[in-house]
Chain A
């Protein structure tokens, strides 16, 4: 606030009282930027905010804050508002709302703000304005005038400009896609130099070439891929290079040359039909999944190194490579006995886990998570074979039907085979530390995930990922203690305060309510006049 504000910034005082629309028009004509407070003959106050003559926000002095209004209208939830807002004293600054909470629906916020602004301006325009206070360059305290400038993607100003769609209208003579038309066949990525899939650019200004416009139309139009038979597993692999596309990808913003090449191939291939490029675009500008599931290329087996390739450092400082093949089991046992109780560790030679790949005996595909988990499970089980504590082996190295995963563990056949004389000492500190070191290797084991999900009550909590440190106060004993969810999970639109909080009505309002009740009662009692 200046020391000596201009008494009549907009030059309207001489014409007051005046209809509200004349005041608003005067501010627009002068391309006013700032806050305009209009007082009506009924002692109401409207606050209208301009930016170069354009109204971007309007509210009454009695209105709640903008954030609260957006929450009540459903554009935000309370969690989003709390995280997106910066409290500066009594001011709730929302200038960085979309930066702090990207999940907020910008369009909903803009539309609601536009609706509220228009309604308030319309209400003020019809009123008689008796006094006007104009403060140049004072923007809305919420900082909403910064929304348009902070949006890197070029979102519109909050006062109503909607972004133009990146997708242009299809060619007028484009033939609609018929349901019986066959889907086009895409060239192989290996042979197609333009097969690299460009990322659809929302801000791309280049107009994608319409197949029909550039090539003069096609014979038949392909059908949209059958989403009902869409294999979700295939969909997850569409971005994998090993998946062979059998459909050309016509994307927004793709180079015209690449599009022409693909279209040329399509034209030369009689099996391909005329394509309406709009139909090939998915909701995000990416081509939909092909109608036929993608064929998985066979990958060479990936050798997974054994988990237990580690070096044991004994308290005496001696290091032993437990995976050394030439170390006899007897020598190991002798050393264990020599170093005492703390050095006992049963590290049975492990069977190399089967290579993951299609050539595996199980015939699973490279991206079959269950095979990877099974290999990891075998590795994990081999680690725990020496530990004959009450740890739970969910996936046994030799899976067999009827094995109760929660049953007390028994000596596995592998342990007996490799060291029939082993006497486990599961409670030793070194053994526990070793297991922790092993378990910190995150292999994404399905078994571990299962244990996390259902630790079971059969015995003490198994070591490993579940326990960061027994002495650590924040260790999660069970998976239930692990925090879940996100602070931005859908929150009910209801505010913290109860909705039906009734403020004590004023005396006038109380009398009016009483008068209405008395009228209603009287009418119901009275006999109506004929």
Chain B
């Protein structure tokens, strides 16, 4: 399976290698690199079950061409959609102003179960997680919730739940609670087929990341994660 790389590929370094700015922990504070100081990278992880709308969301925001790793769907899933993501979706959104450059990287995990290992590969220094779920297909909610809770337990990142194909806020909250989302986590009913809905979801994820950054406590998150995990399990059981 060869990924279909579009003509407008993402930025590359002068030597031809894909530009990958160093992670936050790798940047030495004493390095006086003007470009490095003014360059901020924000990573979002977009996850969810098969045919939830992850690729649509990323494509709606990305300035650059999305590295599309979709191939023709085989098996029973072909009846649902003709093409499916087999590796990951990657999109970028960047701004450059007087203060420097800010780059938003969006990683979309594959929804099929057999590609779940890719999520472990892409887990890392993400700033927020967007969990996209199809509000009209309840058969996928159980697996989506299980995967989401497992992901959140490992990552120390805020979560935003986007209930696609849903216009009712109450129904979206119920779906999110069944997945294991906490009441303090943002839940958005959306129609990702509309570009503005994708923008709202991404903005909500960035706001959640900003709120987490502004929290001064450094030790609370581990305990909160423990308590959150207990609450999620209780919410799912309820």
Which residues of A line the B interface, CB within 8 A?
42, 60, 62-64, 69, 72-73, 112, 115-116, 118-120, 123, 126, 501-503, 505, 508-509, 511-520, 522-524, 526, 528-530
Closest 8 CB pairs of A and B: A528-B195, A515-B40, A63-B219, A515-B102, A516-B210, A119-B222, A528-B199, A119-B226
Is B237 part of the binding interface, using a Cβ–Cβ cutoff of 8 Å?
no
Digit string of B201-238 for contact with A (CB within 8 Å is 1, else 0)?
Answer: 01100110110011010111011011100000000000
Is B198 part of the binding interface, using a Cβ–Cβ cutoff of 8 Å?
yes
Number of A-B contacts (CB under 8 A): 93
Cα distance A72–B216 in the bound complex, in angstroms: 14
Closest residue of chain B to A513, judged by CB?
B213
Closest residue of chain B to A43, judged by CB?
B25
* Nearest CB of B to A70, in Å: 11
Closest residue of chain A to B195, judged by CB?
A528
Known: A119-B222, A514-B99. A528 touches B206 (CB 8 A): no
* Nearest CB of B to A146, in Å: 23
Known: A508-B29, A528-B61, A528-B195. A523 touches B99 (CB 8 A): no
Among candidates B25, B29, B127, B210, residue contacting A517 with C-beta atoms closer than 8 Å:
B210
Taking residues whose C-beta sits less than 8 angstroms from the other chain, chain B's interface range is 35 or more
Assess the B206–A530 pair: CB atoms within 8 A.
no
A115 contact set on B, CB distance < 8 A: 223, 226-227
Is B37 part of the binding interface, using a Cβ–Cβ cutoff of 8 Å?
yes
Assess the A516–B42 pair: CB atoms within 8 A.
yes
A519 contact set on B, CB distance < 8 A: 42, 93, 95, 102, 104, 206
CB-contacts of B11-37 with A (<8 A)? 24-25, 29, 37
Assess the A509–B213 pair: CB atoms within 8 A.
yes
Assess the A513–B210 pair: CB atoms within 8 A.
yes
A63 contact set on B, CB distance < 8 A: 218-219
Assess the B40–A529 pair: CB atoms within 8 A.
no
Is B137 part of the binding interface, using a Cβ–Cβ cutoff of 8 Å?
no
Known: A518-B97, A518-B99, A520-B206. A118 touches B226 (CB 8 A): yes
Between B25, B63, B102, B199, the greatest number of chain A beta carbons within 10 A of the residue's beta carbon is seen for: B102
Assess the B95–A518 pair: CB atoms within 8 A.
yes
Closest residue of chain B to A118, judged by CB?
B226
Is B60 part of the binding interface, using a Cβ–Cβ cutoff of 8 Å?
yes
Assess the B213–A523 pair: CB atoms within 8 A.
no
A505 contact set on B, CB distance < 8 A: 213-214
Known: A512-B40, A529-B195. A69 touches B210 (CB 8 A): no
Cα distance A353–B42 in the bound complex, in angstroms: 87
A511 contact set on B, CB distance < 8 A: 37, 40
Assess the A73–B223 pair: CB atoms within 8 A.
yes
Assess the A42–B223 pair: CB atoms within 8 A.
no
Cα distance A112–B42 in the bound complex, in angstroms: 34
Known: A515-B42, A516-B213. A524 touches B220 (CB 8 A): no
Known: A42-B25, A519-B42, A522-B95. A502 touches B216 (CB 8 A): yes
* Nearest CB of A to B27, in Å: 8
Closest residue of chain B to A509, judged by CB?
B213
Among candidates B199, B218, B219, B223, residue contacting A523 with C-beta atoms closer than 8 Å:
B199
A515 contact set on B, CB distance < 8 A: 40, 42, 100, 102
Assess the A523–B226 pair: CB atoms within 8 A.
no
B198 contact set on A, CB distance < 8 A: 528
* Nearest CB of B to A110, in Å: 15
Cα distance A409–B206 in the bound complex, in angstroms: 77
New A-B contacts (18) at CB < 8 Å, excluding given A60-B222, A529-B60: A62-B219, A63-B218, A63-B219, A112-B223, A115-B226, A120-B222, A511-B37, A512-B40, A513-B213, A514-B99, A515-B40, A515-B100, A519-B95, A520-B203, A520-B206, A523-B199, A528-B60, A529-B63
* Nearest CB of B to A231, in Å: 39
Is B196 part of the binding interface, using a Cβ–Cβ cutoff of 8 Å?
yes
Cα distance A520–B198 in the bound complex, in angstroms: 13
Sample of 6 A–B contacts (CB below 8 Å):
A60-B219, A119-B222, A119-B226, A523-B202, A523-B206, A528-B196
Digit string of B72-110 for contact with A (CB within 8 Å is 1, else 0)?
Answer: 000000000000000000000101010110101000000
A516 contact set on B, CB distance < 8 A: 42, 127, 206, 209-210, 213
B100 contact set on A, CB distance < 8 A: 515
Digit string of B146-185 for contact with A (CB within 8 Å is 1, else 0)?
Answer: 0000000010000000000000000000000000000000
Between B60, B209, B216, the greatest number of chain A beta carbons within 10 A of the residue's beta carbon is seen for: B216
Closest residue of chain B to A516, judged by CB?
B210
A523 contact set on B, CB distance < 8 A: 61, 93, 199, 202-203, 206
Cα distance A216–B202 in the bound complex, in angstroms: 69
CB-contacts of B108-164 with A (<8 A)? 127, 154
Cα distance A118–B62 in the bound complex, in angstroms: 40
Cα distance A359–B155 in the bound complex, in angstroms: 77
A60 contact set on B, CB distance < 8 A: 219, 222
CB-contacts of B25-63 with A (<8 A)? 25, 29, 37, 40, 42, 60-63
B95 contact set on A, CB distance < 8 A: 518-519, 522
A518 contact set on B, CB distance < 8 A: 95, 97, 99, 102
Assess the A72–B40 pair: CB atoms within 8 A.
no
A118 contact set on B, CB distance < 8 A: 226
Cα distance A530–B194 in the bound complex, in angstroms: 8
A503 contact set on B, CB distance < 8 A: 216
Closest residue of chain B to A520, judged by CB?
B206
Closest residue of chain B to A126, judged by CB?
B154
Assess the B195–A62 pair: CB atoms within 8 A.
no
Closest residue of chain B to A41, judged by CB?
B25
Assess the B223–A69 pair: CB atoms within 8 A.
yes
Cα distance A501–B214 in the bound complex, in angstroms: 11
* Nearest CB of A to B153, in Å: 9
Closest residue of chain A to B223, judged by CB?
A116
A512 contact set on B, CB distance < 8 A: 24, 40, 213
* Nearest CB of A to B95, in Å: 5
Cα distance A126–B120 in the bound complex, in angstroms: 13
